Chain A
Amino acid sequence: MDMVLEADRLGKRYGSTWALRDCSLHLPAGRIAALVGPNGAGKSTLLHLAVGLLKPDAGAVRVFGRSPYGDTEGLADIGFVAQDTPLYRDFTASELVIAGGKLNKRWDATLARQRLAQLGIPPDKAVGKLSGGQRAQVALALALAKQPRLLLLDEPVASLDPLARREFLQSLMGSVAESGTTVLLSSHLLADLERVCDYLIVLNASQVQLTGAVDDLVAGHRQLVGPRHDGGAIGGVAAVIRASHTDRQSTLLVRTDGPVTDPAWTVREVSLEDVVLAYLADGTTQTSHSEWGVAA
């Protein structure tokens, strides 16, 4: 399988804190991948490393087999929309299309203009005066005009209202479906991306918790409900991800490596969201009682 993005024990440190640590993952070509994790999990850091804005402090990241930091040629293949879709606010959309043409060797200005016309974006209005949704669409149109083979979007819908969110994702899907572009888009909410992605990377506390194709992940996890469980092995279960117990009953979310045939357990299928929440809850919360000066 062709790998677009590969990270191998990738790490990035700010001062003495690791924003990303021991991050290993592979993103196969042609996927629409969701990068999900709570705020501060290291999603932006990972994307910045992938687009070459940051230099890794440990490990390596490769995009199309090249190390992106300081690689200007490689940039041509990567489209990037940063968080809050920063654009020169006093430029009009049409000026931004011209600017993109001056800044890139490969640039499809016609495509960008057509997209923006289709979306009803005014060409001669400063983009700072457009709505958040329109501005995000302009940023996306500019990223797509590069005709990238990999499109990275950092929280593209976080600041949009639900309607604009849907429109944005629809127009994104519409355009990458034709070109076969690999997409990696991040969000702190899975719900935003669940309907569009077919690949998932879950980051939490600067580490990769889960990665894989959505279908495999859903198929590979089950919820088991049965008598109170003491931690012993269950046939067909590779790992217990999360367990909750009442006095007599246990509810487990497990990764399976075969059919669970033990009749003591009721096996239920899980949604993608169940899986993600189970992995996110796995990371322990750091308490800060001493900083607050209160008793634990």
Chain B
Amino acid sequence: MIWLTWRQHRKQAFYTVLGFVALAALLVPIGLSMRNTFSDLGLTDCVSQLARADVAQTTRETCEAGFQRFGSQYGSLNLVAVLLITLPALVGLFWGAPLVAREVEHGTHRFVWTQGVGRTRWALVKFGLVGAAVVILAAAYGLGMSWWVDPLTQAAYEGRLGMIVFDLQGIAPIGYTLFAVALGVFAGTVWKRMLPAMGITLAGFIGVRAAVEILARPHYQPARTQTFPIAGEGSPEISRGDWILTQGVRNPDGTMVAEDTRIQCPPGGKGPDGRVCGAELGLEPGAYNWQLYQPADRFWLFQGIETGIFVALAVLLLYLAVRRIRRIA
């Protein structure tokens, strides 16, 4: 069975690894130059200094300027990051969907399932081997991406918990890739043709990923709230790396006055019309900035939960696929 699986998929495995290596050859130099610039701008220091509570105002301002320069130089790479997010889906399309559908489309399932091993064992060995290969690949991808995208995330306020960069690194890609493959396999057992199975896999993957990302992920842990006054010197203090879910300005009684914004006025500052700062927005004395956020140190916890959800979905889909395979003739 192992020999058969290898013989059947070796060409595909070769091209997958080739593509992976080509991608690495492209991304590693970019990553290296990004890291060089990052340390040349002194941003490595900044990261450690900004993490301290007693950071001086001047340091903060120089660092912000540095991050801005870095961002304008490499910000376009965020687009590349978006493209890289599609890789798990591609693995699902080209490894998952054909696994059963191709056999049925070519009729070879009638050959292989009537040999001495039986189709349940056939399915388990195939899923196991392809799954193991996929886990290795996805782990390499996740770790590589963690390294590659790190300077970009450091430079961004959201940090690693932000959308897209969260999905790109750590262990979450393992969950996504396994899920994509399992979805492809399952779709192949239902539609039994490669192209429909691939189409369904793509649509299903996007749907589930988006739903989890938008609906579930912000609630993995109760979000924290933070408030700070609207009067203060310099630029507002924002803890880098926190994932801000919602923010706004509230009046002392708690009513939201202005959503998705924050206000900072110098102490005793006046608005354009001479009234107290923010009065034109309807702010009463004592109004404060408010934010609902997930703190940066929950990154690995969230990664674990996200991966767990997708691995569980993958296991469920593979179980259903094995059950369906017993009905295909």
**How long is the Cα–Cα vector from A190 to B323 in the complex, in angstroms?**
38
Contact of A103 (CB < 8 Å), options: B11, B107, B112, B328: B112
**Are the C-beta atoms of B327 and A103 separated by less than 8 Å?**
no
What residues make up the interface of B, taking CB atoms closer than 8 Å to A?
A: 1-4, 7-8, 11, 106-108, 110-118, 120-121, 326-329
**Are the C-beta atoms of B115 and A103 separated by less than 8 Å?**
yes
**Are the C-beta atoms of B114 and A53 separated by less than 8 Å?**
yes
Per-residue interface assignment for chain A, residues 185 to 205, with 1 indicating a CB less than 8 Å from any chain B CB and 0 otherwise:
000000000000000000000
**Contact flag A82-B116 (CB < 8 Å), given A95-B7, A102-B1:** no
What residues make up the interface of A, taking CB atoms closer than 8 Å to B?
A: 48, 51-55, 70, 72, 75-76, 78, 80, 82-84, 86-91, 95, 98-100, 102-106, 139, 142, 146
8 CB < 8 A contacts A-B: A53-B329, A55-B326, A72-B121, A82-B110, A87-B111, A90-B11, A139-B111, A146-B115
User: In the complex, how many residue pairs between chain A and chain B have their CB atoms under 8 Å apart?
Assistant: 71
**Nearest chain A CB to B15 CB, angstrom units:** 14
**Are the C-beta atoms of B107 and A86 separated by less than 8 Å?**
yes
In the complex, which of the residues B11, B107, B328 has the most CB atoms of chain A within 10 Å of its own CB atom?
Answer: B107
Contact of B114 (CB < 8 Å), options: A70, A75, A90, A95: A75
**Are the C-beta atoms of B114 and A86 separated by less than 8 Å?**
no
Determine the chain A residues whose CB is within 8 A of the CB of B329 once the complex forms.
Answer: 48, 53-54
Residue of A nearest to B111 (CB): A86
Contact of A76 (CB < 8 Å), options: B1, B107, B111, B116: B116
**Are the C-beta atoms of A106 and B111 separated by less than 8 Å?**
no
**Are the C-beta atoms of A80 and B121 separated by less than 8 Å?**
no
Contact of A82 (CB < 8 Å), options: B2, B11, B107: B107
Having A54-B329, A75-B118, one finds 18 other A-B pairs with CB under 8 Å, namely: A48-B110, A53-B114, A70-B326, A72-B121, A82-B110, A82-B111, A83-B107, A86-B106, A87-B108, A88-B8, A88-B111, A98-B3, A102-B3, A103-B116, A103-B117, A105-B116, A142-B111, A146-B115
Determine the chain A residues whose CB is within 8 A of the CB of B112 once the complex forms.
Answer: 103
**Are the C-beta atoms of A100 and B114 separated by less than 8 Å?**
no
Residue of A nearest to B122 (CB): A103
**Are the C-beta atoms of B7 and A72 separated by less than 8 Å?**
no
Determine the chain B residues whose CB is within 8 A of the CB of A104 once the complex forms.
Answer: 115-117
Determine the chain A residues whose CB is within 8 A of the CB of B118 once the complex forms.
Answer: 70, 72, 75
Residue of A nearest to B112 (CB): A103
**Nearest chain A CB to B279 CB, angstrom units:** 72
**Are the C-beta atoms of A53 and B110 separated by less than 8 Å?**
yes
**How long is the Cα–Cα vector from A78 to B113 in the complex, in angstroms?**
12
**Nearest chain A CB to B114 CB, angstrom units:** 4
Determine the chain B residues whose CB is within 8 A of the CB of A54 once the complex forms.
Answer: 329
**How long is the Cα–Cα vector from A75 to B110 in the complex, in angstroms?**
12
**Are the C-beta atoms of B107 and A72 separated by less than 8 Å?**
no
Residue of A nearest to B2 (CB): A102
**How long is the Cα–Cα vector from A95 to B7 in the complex, in angstroms?**
9
**Are the C-beta atoms of A99 and B3 separated by less than 8 Å?**
yes
Determine the chain A residues whose CB is within 8 A of the CB of B11 once the complex forms.
Answer: 90
Contact of B115 (CB < 8 Å), options: A48, A75, A84, A89: A75
**How long is the Cα–Cα vector from A54 to B109 in the complex, in angstroms?**
13
**Contact flag A55-B3 (CB < 8 Å), given A72-B117, A106-B116:** no
**Nearest chain B CB to A152 CB, angstrom units:** 9
**How long is the Cα–Cα vector from A99 to B111 in the complex, in angstroms?**
11
**How long is the Cα–Cα vector from A95 to B6 in the complex, in angstroms?**
12
**Are the C-beta atoms of B106 and A89 separated by less than 8 Å?**
yes
Determine the chain A residues whose CB is within 8 A of the CB of B327 once the complex forms.
Answer: 55
**Are the C-beta atoms of B116 and A80 separated by less than 8 Å?**
no
